[in-house]
Amino acid sequence: MDVTIKNEGAKTLVTLQGRLDTTNASDFQNDIQPLMEGEKPDIEIDCTDMEYTSSQGLRMFLILQKSVLARQGQLVMKNMKPQVKEVFDITGFSNIIKII
């Protein structure tokens, strides 16, 4: 899983690439640690090249969402592949995290 984080003005752009599964979930947690800091974050995650996420991965997005909400910020995920979107839908995560 490759994570790229870029700041564009007040917005933070994150690009994900590859598979997010049990084996690399803790690496991913470290990679997104910068996103857990700062007031009123405005984070946009581009999932164009994300192939798969496991339930561990979902947990990471959930932790991120909770952290963002606690800091009065917002988190948006976009361009999900259908099979990834399906996981978010099945588990009801689409109701918690804003997906466009």
Partner 1 sequence: MNNIFKSIRKSFSARLTIFILTVTALLFIAAICIMAFSSRKLIQQEASRGAENILKATVSNIEETITSVESSTLSTAWMVNENKDNPGYMYTMTKQLIASNPYIIGSTVAFRPNFYEQYGEYYAPYSYKDEETGKIISFQMGNEDYDYHTMEWYQLPYLLKRSGWSEPYYDEGGGEQIMTTFSVPLQDENGEIFAVMTADISLKNLTEQVAQTKPYPNAYTILVSNNASYISHPIGERILNETIFSNALELGDTTLMSLAYKIVGKETGDIEFLDETGEKSLAIFHPISNGWSVVLVCPLKDVLEKTLEMNLILVLVLLFGLILLALLCWLTIRRLTRPLSEFCDSANNIAQGNFNSSLPRIKSHDEMRKLHDSFAHMQRSLTSYINELKTTTSAKERIDSELNIARNIQLNMVSTDFRENLYATLHPAKEVGGDLYDFNFTDGKIKFAIGDVSGKGVPAALFMAITRSSFMFVGGLGLTVQQIIERINNTISRGNKQMLFVTMFAAMYNPKDHILSYCNAGHNPIVIIEPPKEEGGEAHAFYLKAKPNLVLGLMEDFKYEGEEIEIAPGSRIILYTDGVTEAENATKEQYGEERLLEFARKAFNIPTAKECTEALLADVQAFANGNPQNDDITILTVDV
Contacts with partner 1, residue ranges (CB under 8 A) = 21-22, 25, 54-56, 58-59, 62-63, 66, 89-96
Helix, strand, or coil (residue 96): coil
- Distance separating alpha carbons of residues 78 and 22, to the nearest angstrom: 22
44 neighbors 60 (Cβ within 8 angstroms): no
Which residue, 10 or 70, is less far from partner 1 as judged by CB?
A: 70
Which residue, 7 or 55, is less far from partner 1 as judged by CB?
A: 55
Q: How far is the CB of 94 from partner 1 (least distance, A)?
A: 8
Which residue, 12 or 53, is less far from partner 1 as judged by CB?
A: 53
Which residue, 16 or 58, is less far from partner 1 as judged by CB?
A: 58
Q: How far is the CB of 91 from partner 1 (least distance, A)?
A: 3
Q: Which residues of 64-86 are buried (b: 16+ CB within 10 A; e: fewer)?
A: bbebbeeeebebebebbeeebbe
Q: How far is the CB of 31 from partner 1 (least distance, A)?
A: 17
14 neighbors 1 (Cβ within 8 angstroms): no
